[in-house]
Amino acid sequence: MNQDILVVIEHLRGQVSDISYTMLAAGRELAQSTGGSVVAVLLGHNSQNLAGDLAADRVLYVDHPALADFTPEAYQKTLAGLIGENQPRAVLLGHTTIGMDVASGLSAQLGLPLVSSGRSFTADGKFISQICGGKIMAEGDLPGPTALVTMVPGGYKPEQGQSTQPPQLTEASAPALEGLRVALKQYIEPEVSDVDIAREQLLVAVGRGIQNQDNLSLAEELAEAMGGVVCASRPVVDQGWLPTSRLVGKSGKTVKPKVFLAMGISGAPEHVEAITGSDVIIAINTDPAAPIFNVAKYGTTADLFDLVPALTDQIRQAKSG
């Protein structure tokens, strides 16, 4: 056992994901309380170049053709070996499509404790997780001997985990990666769409509070009156009321408009992580405890079904007047 913090670097098709840098920043904070080093773990194939800007004390790199793209089984096998050999104080993984596919399996396989939805660490090394759609924070001692932690964004800025000085890189060997039961067949590109919500300046965002597809016209009329574009939270897209290209959030797009008007959106972390780059967020939500009010600049608990038509009317009048 040592006091190091292992940070599992996530990358997708040749690009390091922001969560990796966020975790390096979190790892640095944690390493300060444990007195260990921050060790980035990079798995890939011909991917050494991805290590260049990682703010780590060193990088452990494993190269294998089976690691060229993420698959849960190959990653878990490789990480299990590395964690066993290094016995660090903590291993940080993304609370993401990648990290969450392997963290629980590693916990069960290695018999190590796991904390999920970690957002930050306190100066004395406690974890702080954000759960229940962003409504509850949970804090506790980092379990031992080695804690696995899956991290959500928001607690640290990705820039804090970037460095201009390339870290020292050591290669570790991959375990036998044969007989794998999961194989990547192909990637399917996202559908191209007429609008790119990531570039729009005025977004009218609808959430489950809109209740049904017919009511979407309320948002569409408002957007049209203002020259904005309608986008949505995940439940609205899952219902098929709007195409995936309009999805804002962790599994959709990150947006940074001048104004983001959220109606009937609770403000779950998976949604919020993609809207914090907006200049002004205005939230309409009847629940005064909705987490969206923690990130919005302006808010109102008015009922959207009363307020939105009034808003559209006034804009139309102002424009014609």
Partner 1 sequence: MNIVVPVKLVPDLVEELTVDASGSALDTAWLRLIINEFDDHAIEQAILLKEQSGGQVVVVSPNAEGVEDMLFTASAKGADQLIKLNGDFEDGVNNHGLARALATLLRDLQPDLILTGVQAHNDLDGSLGPLLAQYLEMPYVGYVSGVTADSGKVVARKEYPGGLIAEMEVTLPAVLGIQAAEQPPRYVAISKVRQAMKTAAIDEQEAATLDPSGGPTVSRMYQPEATEQATMISGSEDEIAARIIDIFKESGVL
Ligand X SMILES: Cc1cc2nc3c(=O)[nH]c(=O)nc-3n(C[C@H](O)[C@H](O)[C@H](O)COP(=O)(O)OP(=O)(O)OC[C@H]3O[C@@H](n4cnc5c(N)ncnc54)[C@H](O)[C@@H]3O)c2cc1C
Give the residues lining the site for ligand X (CB under 6 A). 133, 207-209, 233-235, 247-252, 264-266, 268, 270-271, 284-287, 290, 303-305
Tell me the per-residue interface mask from 207 to 246 with partner 1, x by CB under 8 A, - otherwise: -------------------xxx-----xx--xxx---xx-
207 binds, among partner 1, ligand X, none (CB under 5 to 8 A by kind): ligand X
Residue 247 within binding range of partner 1, rule CB under 8 A: yes
Say whether the peptide bond before residue 72 is cis (omega within 30 degrees of 0).
no
Q: How many CB atoms lie within 10 A of CB 141?
A: 10
Nearer to ligand X, 9 or 262 (CB): 262
By beta-carbon proximity to ligand X, the closer residue of 180 and 289 is: 289
Q: What span, in angstroms and rounded, lies between the C-alpha atoms of 40 and 24?
A: 8
Positions 48 through 87 that interact with partner 1 (CB under 8 A): 69-73
SS3 135: coil
Q: Strands (DSSP E) along 247-289, which ranges?
A: 259-263, 280-284
**Cα torsion through 298, 303, 309, 314, rounded to 10:** -40
> Which residue's CB is nearer to ligand X, number 56 or number 304?
304
Judged by CB under 8 A, the number of residues near partner 1 is: 101
The binder of partner 1 chosen from 157, 182, 199, 217 (CB under 8 A): 182
Query: Of residues 271-290, which lie at the interface with partner 1 (CB under 8 A)?
Result: 279-283, 287, 289
The minimum distance between CB 253 and partner 1, in angstroms, equals 6
By CB under 8 A, residue 155 contacts partner 1: no
Residues contacting residue 179 through CB under 8 Å, at least 6 positions apart: none
**Shortest Cβ distance from residue 252 to ligand X (Å)?**
4
CA–CA separation, 250 and 228 (whole Å): 22
d(CA 172, CA 79) in angstroms, rounded, equals 11
Sign (positive/negative) of CA torsion 251, 253, 255, 259? negative
Nearer to partner 1, 1 or 280 (CB): 280
